[in-house]
Structure 1
């Protein structure tokens, strides 16, 4: 076999070798480190992973692209399982409100927050939403993210929700990065339904969901289960309905108040519960028992000035699989920089570099149901790689606020070189 791409002399090759399942507890420290690593790619697939030299059955010719990994750290392509990629407008006007002490739910009640973005998203054309999302997706790819989850949720009416999901679908078809879509019609309560939330829940279930399913626009369904938004009972109704339409469950859970979202995620056997800043001990125990992935978003806690982060250490001790996300959105966390999130996870949630790498690769891949294809560097998997200009994983976290990516390989193609996108 003649290899298409060979990456050799890799100072630290992080493979995350092992079973294609979420890693828990001490397993999150087992990252499959190979020093002086080498790997070979053919037809978009990883064909060899090892140390030193290639075996005799894998050869190179003049057409083989050879990448020198000396002084570099190579990981699986990073996976972001929680973003609000497609939206209109921005909300920098809320910065002054936050500086004066307004809390997230205060801004929401005043008609800002999600409602402001809903107005902008409704008013934006398909092309405008596409170009804005594409720009952010380019940035994400340059930070090493090769697969990104994208939620709807800024429509709160059927047509705008479908428009968001159609934009994500088109981007997935055209862009090097892969997009996995989530239907989040229950992201907030439209102002006209403030006095009758159950009626809006019925619209989500009986009008939005069938149309999302008809066009096959989403793999997952998410609900914002929070005080002043959707109750545990309403969330359960929506997620149970989603299962009938072939969508797996996710939920924004216990982000601000301990409402019982973590417990609910275990009850409905969700693939993930996200945020969890206020999750109870009982909720975390139930998540561990049912294998629900805790998708933690420290950038949101940082940006909202909450003074409190999700208890990642306790979750790991209890055996809850932990993933990490940017939560990229225009209000509570307007950043595409997953590397900064990795630093926050380490410094503010006390996760080790090994746990962080596990959380942004194999565990995040499991959080969107893509672990058979991505999340680790193994023979037969997609050739999705992040090549960092860094001698080890600790340096990536230690030297924060910059982009350490040198190259990104997606589906066996070099798509980022010297930190910049090529061939898009």
Structure 2
């Protein structure tokens, strides 16, 4: 036989040494191809039959009568061994006493048959393919060397070698068979270890994916909660900027109406209160529907600010001027809505608290940002003495700060008692397109 048959040397699964669950020959051990289990079941029968057939054909040439009888008896014994193993051995756990005994007896029969007729090495060849399936790891290499002795003796012309040249041929072939068997076994072991590492990595990856799925679900829940909270804050701010300011204006107009005896003036104040009520109702509906302020529905931002400043000046009798600098361009609707609402809130704060005589509003378009500055000459205040409600998220200065931060902008307040107040808002210039 040629040494090329060694290429099929099987690999040993190192997980068997780790105390894992024992595999059975009838099942598929971890990392072992199914064809090897099928070969371990039917292969010995086929190789024994082929070896016996070829040995019978060549019996007259290579065996005497005594060797022929011995070979026949050994062949029957080998067949009986295979029948016993097929009937009972597949139910035995791998690497137990029974598989080791089976391998030893099979090797001994193969060696003896090859001694009678070298052609029986065909049967002994099975020792290369299932050593790691039947034996513990520390016995695999000795078993491969024992099989290599049988194969080398067969290739050298039979055992024992007859003369010096036969011995040299036997040693050379034994070296070749041993090197190939052990080399392929080493490669198979490394591949098996690599496969085991890959399985472990895949298991860790599967666990990580499960954890990520849990984290993803948790993040989705948190995102929903954050979205709900953000929507609540938005609605609260919109209600403050629409209903609260409208109601404040209505109350002011009704007080003015009740404080005058002129029927015409009273009627004028009541009409203004009615207009404020209708406007507040419209804005409340728009806020619930998350639409842009009504002032921006038909007018660009500068025009809307001009109208707001004019209406505010008429209501409060405080002079208000709007100045626009830079090249005006349509902005993203959320940017424009933010600037408009902040202007409304700032003017409301001026009317409530500043006691000002003059207010200036400046809208500046720059290269990459838009600024809104609102100044008054009122009584001013100390920004560091603001109560927590206004400084941390109420609907006054804190509400304006929250609106600006939502669009990645900044807000600065400068004020001193008796010197008025200046509020400056800067937001990114995000065009409508």
TM-score of the alignment, normalized to the shorter chain, above 0.5: no
User: Quick check: which one's helix share is greater?
Assistant: 2
Q: Which structure: larger Rg? A: 2
Which structure has the higher relative contact order (CA within 8 Å, separation 6+)? 1
User: Quick check: which one's strand share is greater?
Assistant: 1
Report the TM-score when normalising by structure 2: 0.20
